[in-house]
Structure 1
Amino acid sequence: MFPPVYIADIAAHEGQEVTLHGWLHNRRSSGKLHFLQVRDGTGVIQCVVFKGNVTPEVFQEADHLPQETSLAVTGLVKKDARSPIGFELDVKDLRALAKPAREFPLGHKEHGVAFLMEQRHNWLRSQRQAVILRVRHSVVKAIRDFFDGRGFTLVDAPVFTPSACEGTSTLFEVPYFDLGKAYLTQSGQLYMEAAAMALGKVYCFGPTFRAEKSKTRRHLTEFWMVEPEVAFMDLDGDMELMEQLVAHVVQAVLAKHERELRDVLERDVSKLANVKAPFPRITYTEAVEVIQKAGHPMKWGDDIGGDEETVVASAYDRPVMVHRYPAAMKAFYFKKDPQDANVALGCDVLAPEGYGEIIGGGQREDDLAVLEASIAQAGLPKEAFEWYLDVRRYGSVPHAGFGMGVERCVAWICGLHHVRETIPFPRMMERITP
């Protein structure tokens, strides 16, 4: 048997006889021909079994293989303009490695969302889900390449945290030996601030947890977030970094997955092609005016919800940056605008097409006395933040950062209705299986 090759590399073997290892995705027959759709995780290829090219036993077996049979298929790589990948395999030999013990539960028909979620471990085998996970991988790689190529240092933040920095209502509480309670992290930001004072430009990238009792299409209880933090950076520099990251990620994914996005996910890729810096920038006050003109009963000081985000973003063909939100809406660590103490030096990036906030961040308060007063005003225990206050006690400098959620970013790029499809095994309010 020839050394196995991957379908993604098939073009390099035109005219050669190769062996593929994979699973039977679908099959159909036409007299002396069997057409087997075989996938190997890198792609799908049509394998044509002609009665005159194989033994009678192989031809007979090819007509009765159940879906998801694992296979070793040997054949000649031939160019085919009708194929989505430009090639097909003229089969010379075929061997079933393992046949399903029972009928695969996901046939080639429509299934309800609840059933598909119960079958998530099997649903991942579908072509659509495989494309989404490959796009997710490319998003993660593009994020890492962006920061690594700009001199950032990856610093891993802890998942267990000793205190609730913004209240316990949206934190998962866990017992922690003899030390009492601990919490699953909502963010690595505070730790990145400390790391930035040591390394200048840092980022963490890992799972975060939110115990919000929300069932919207934009929420998960466990998701992945990248959080850069930069010393000697103000809000303007932070916003520039935000737009550069988003533009880099989108264009990197588009360069690699344009065909899959268009043909498998039916994504309008022309809308992604427009995602290039600079992004439009408006203040929160200007955003409120836009929302009010659209007929929404919003007043200054209200949060901008999902519907309102859609109104604001609908005027643009690329993400829009909304900055300087009311200080009362933001966490204690946001720095207030020196020109207007009513607003904070923060910014959200809203994706177009109704996908909402994909980035939130801003400039941090670097004045020790002001930060101590903010902690007290928020009713937080100062002793829990003594280590965080040390960041300001020893050579404090202006610094800024943000967090970008991977799942919302993937949902937008892929044009998905719900973030549950963007992560291999989603965790939501009503789901913790499989």
Structure 2
Amino acid sequence: MKKIMIQDMPGAIGETVKLGVWLANKRSSGKIAFLQLRDGSGFVQGVIVKEEVGEELFATAKGLTQETSMYVTGVVKEDTRSSFGCELAITGIEVIHAAEDYPITPKEHGVEFLMDNRHLWLRSRKQHAIMKIRNEVIRATYEFFNNNGFVKIDPPILTGSAPEGTSELFQTKYFDEDAYLSQSGQLYMEAAAMALGKVFSFGPTFRAEKSKTRRHLIEFWMIEPEMAFVEFEENLEVQEQYVAYIVQSVLKNCKLELERLGRDTSKLENIQAPFPRITYDDAIKFLHDKGFTDIQWGDDFGAPHETAIAEHYDKPVFITCYPVGIKPFYMQPHPERDDVVLCADLIAPEGYGEIIGGSERIHDYDLLKQRIAEHKLDETAYAWYLELRKQGSVPHSGFGLGLERTVAWISGAEHVRESIPFPRLLNRLYP
């Protein structure tokens, strides 16, 4: 007998097949039982009719508990009422393990309860759909950068210096010296770009930021490209092409998941390059005109400010050229102004905030050394980074995209904690 997965069923209409599944839910109507089955690849309805299978097998089906594991056999039948397109007419059930008192029932549960049971909550339809979208974003990321001549490089997670200062870093001991969990692989990616031209990394990063907003995680994943001989405007073009690519890939390959989440796909279909741009100066003026008198030139934007700006557009929007005082030491100054730098944050629509931060990097040795001193950083720890500016330095640029915020935006998840399998939050290290 052919053993397949649920995702393969549309191509097996009319065949008798065997599947390994869990029971997600069930309901019965007299002499017919409807079993909602899942196997990790998808969800499908199994139908078992008493008069066709006999009293014993039907009683077994009616007695199944939620999340019981089993092998089921049956005939794959077309079902035009289902967006999946088929169902399973069950002819046999072999119970593997009967689950007992499964804690997450179809009723409503509180967030803390669900987070305590995250290891089980992942099995739900909604969380399954978000994880499938996350996987598609990752797949499309590799595809985009591989197709555009980038080389994947893995920066270290343990570092001896901090790209953006040490105030939000997790410190540890590396034998007899201090080390930190990486908050960004950027500095190392700059070194890699000088060797390989165009590179990207994809890995975990850590921020010891005591924030409880729906946009923040303590541990999250970043995609960080760096490009030699690429200046500011070219960098923005790569960013918008990349974001448009992953959104369109999700639309193409995750239709069922977006439907399951109730996502308004018309908003995603509009995500095509180019994206609108607004300078920091104009953003401040815009906010003042909208009644945000609390923010002044030189202040960083908070969530309400970013949301107000984003609502003015129907695509992600670049906010460019921030004041030098609120950005990291490595950003290239504006060629015509000494008070702003060549950087941009990409703000997602619908209140999801910043998903990309990027800039052209300083490539002049003396200026970078001056910036390190101004930020009161240990020049010894950055000696190797400075040396890159001595050995054939070139203009170069890069950016970092936060995977979880991007997945939350694309999927329409309310909180970023749902866009990572096991979130690490301010007061949560379990499970």
Compute the TM-score of the two structures, normalised by the length of structure 1.
0.98
- Structure 1 position 396 matched with structure 2 position 393: yes
Q: Residue 417 of structure 1: SS of its match in structure 2?
A: coil
- Structure 1 position 159 matched with structure 2 position 157: yes
Q: Which residue of 1 aligns with 2:12?
A: 13
Q: Which residue of 2 aligns with 1:367?
A: 364
Q: Quote the Cα distance in structure 2 between the aligned partners of 1:199 and 1:37.
A: 50
Q: Quote the Cα distance in structure 2 between the aligned partners of 1:241 and 1:134.
A: 25
Q: Which residue of 2 aligns with 1:136?
A: 134
Q: Tell me, yes or no, if the aligned pair for 1:203 and 1:227 is still in contact at 8 Å.
A: yes
Q: Which residue of 2 aligns with 1:230?
A: 227
* Cα-to-partner distance string for 1:281-328 (whole Å, 9 max, x where unaligned): 111111111111110022111111111001111111110011111111
**1:201 CA displacement:** 0.3
Q: Quote the Cα distance in structure 2 between the aligned partners of 1:280 and 1:336.
A: 22
Q: Tell me, yes or no, if the aligned pair for 1:350 and 1:357 is still in contact at 8 Å.
A: yes
Q: Tell me, yes or no, if the aligned pair for 1:234 and 1:398 is still in contact at 8 Å.
A: yes
- Structure 1 position 79 matched with structure 2 position 69: no
Counterpart among 173, 187, 193 of residue 175 in structure 1: 173
- Structure 1 position 295 matched with structure 2 position 294: no
Q: Which residue of 2 aligns with 1:189?
A: 186
Report the AA paired with residue 239 of structure 2: M
Q: Tell me, yes or no, if the aligned pair for 1:16 and 1:76 is still in contact at 8 Å.
A: yes
Q: Which residue of 1 aligns with 2:336?
A: 339
Q: Residue 71 of structure 2: SS of its match in structure 1?
A: strand
Q: Quote the Cα distance in structure 2 between the aligned partners of 1:195 and 1:44.
A: 43
Counterpart among 273, 282, 299 of residue 269 in structure 2: 273
**1:3 CA displacement:** 3.1
Q: Tell me, yes or no, if the aligned pair for 1:20 and 1:74 is still in contact at 8 Å.
A: yes
Q: Which residue of 1 aligns with 2:44?
A: 45
Counterpart among 238, 242, 247 of residue 244 in structure 2: 247
Alignment of 1:386-425 (within 5 A): 386-425=383-422
**1:269 CA displacement:** 0.7
Identical-pair percentage: 52
Q: Residue 304 of structure 1: SS of its match in structure 2?
A: coil
Q: Quote the Cα distance in structure 1 between the aligned partners of 2:337 and 2:190.
A: 24
Q: Which residue of 1 aligns with 2:310?
A: 313
Report the AA paired with residue 339 of structure 1: E
Q: Tell me, yes or no, if the aligned pair for 2:318 and 2:344 is still in contact at 8 Å.
A: yes
Q: Tell me, yes or no, if the aligned pair for 1:28 and 1:36 is still in contact at 8 Å.
A: yes
Q: Tell me, yes or no, if the aligned pair for 1:408 and 1:419 is still in contact at 8 Å.
A: yes
Counterpart among 119, 122, 144 of residue 121 in structure 1: 119
Q: Which residue of 1 aligns with 2:378?
A: 381
Q: Quote the Cα distance in structure 1 between the aligned partners of 2:72 and 2:56.
A: 14
What is the number of residues matched between the two proteins? 430
Q: Residue 341 of structure 1: SS of its match in structure 2?
A: coil
Q: Residue 46 of structure 2: SS of its match in structure 1?
A: strand
Q: Tell me, yes or no, if the aligned pair for 2:163 and 2:187 is still in contact at 8 Å.
A: no
**1:168 CA displacement:** 1.8
**1:55 CA displacement:** 3.8
Q: Which residue of 1 aligns with 2:217?
A: 220
**1:32 CA displacement:** 1.5
- Structure 1 position 69 matched with structure 2 position 68: yes
Q: Which residue of 2 aligns with 1:211?
A: 208
Give the 3 Å change call, closer, same or farther, for CA 209–33 of structure 1 in structure 2. Answer: same
Q: Quote the Cα distance in structure 2 between the aligned partners of 1:184 and 1:86.
A: 47
Report the AA paired with residue 18 of structure 1: V
Q: Quote the Cα distance in structure 1 between the aligned partners of 2:330 and 2:127.
A: 39
Q: Residue 72 of structure 2: SS of its match in structure 1?
A: strand
Q: Which residue of 1 aligns with 2:30?
A: 31
Q: Quote the Cα distance in structure 2 between the aligned partners of 1:210 and 1:365.
A: 24
Q: Tell me, yes or no, if the aligned pair for 1:165 and 1:380 is still in contact at 8 Å.
A: no
Q: Quote the Cα distance in structure 1 between the aligned partners of 2:193 and 2:79.
A: 54
Gaps of 5+ in 2: none
Q: Residue 342 of structure 1: SS of its match in structure 2?
A: coil
* Cα-to-partner distance string for 1:156-205 (whole Å, 9 max, x where unaligned): 00000012343221000111112x21100000000000010000000111
Q: Tell me, yes or no, if the aligned pair for 1:116 and 1:123 is still in contact at 8 Å.
A: yes
* Cα-to-partner distance string for 1:23-60 (whole Å, 9 max, x where unaligned): 00111111221111111111111111111222432111
Q: Which residue of 2 aligns with 1:282?
A: 278
Deviates more, 1:80-89 or 1:189-198: 80-89
Counterpart among 243, 256, 259 of residue 256 in structure 2: 259
Root mean square deviation, CA, Å: 0.9
Q: Quote the Cα distance in structure 2 between the aligned partners of 1:375 and 1:191.
A: 17
Q: Quote the Cα distance in structure 2 between the aligned partners of 1:151 and 1:377.
A: 36
Counterpart among 104, 107, 113 of residue 106 in structure 1: 104
Report the AA paired with residue 308 of structure 2: V
Compute the TM-score of the two structures, normalised by the length of structure 2.
0.98
Q: Quote the Cα distance in structure 1 between the aligned partners of 2:161 and 2:236.
A: 29
Q: Tell me, yes or no, if the aligned pair for 1:238 and 1:401 is still in contact at 8 Å.
A: yes
**1:138 CA displacement:** 0.3
* Cα-to-partner distance string for 1:90-137 (whole Å, 9 max, x where unaligned): 11111111101x210000100000000000001001000000000000
Q: Quote the Cα distance in structure 2 between the aligned partners of 1:315 and 1:259.
A: 30
Gaps of 5+ in 1: none
Q: Quote the Cα distance in structure 2 between the aligned partners of 1:339 and 1:259.
A: 50
Report the AA paired with residue 378 of structure 1: H
Q: Quote the Cα distance in structure 1 between the aligned partners of 2:16 and 2:178.
A: 61
**1:256 CA displacement:** 1.1
Q: Quote the Cα distance in structure 2 between the aligned partners of 1:31 and 1:417.
A: 39
Report the AA paired with residue 56 of structure 1: E
Q: Quote the Cα distance in structure 2 between the aligned partners of 1:183 and 1:399.
A: 26
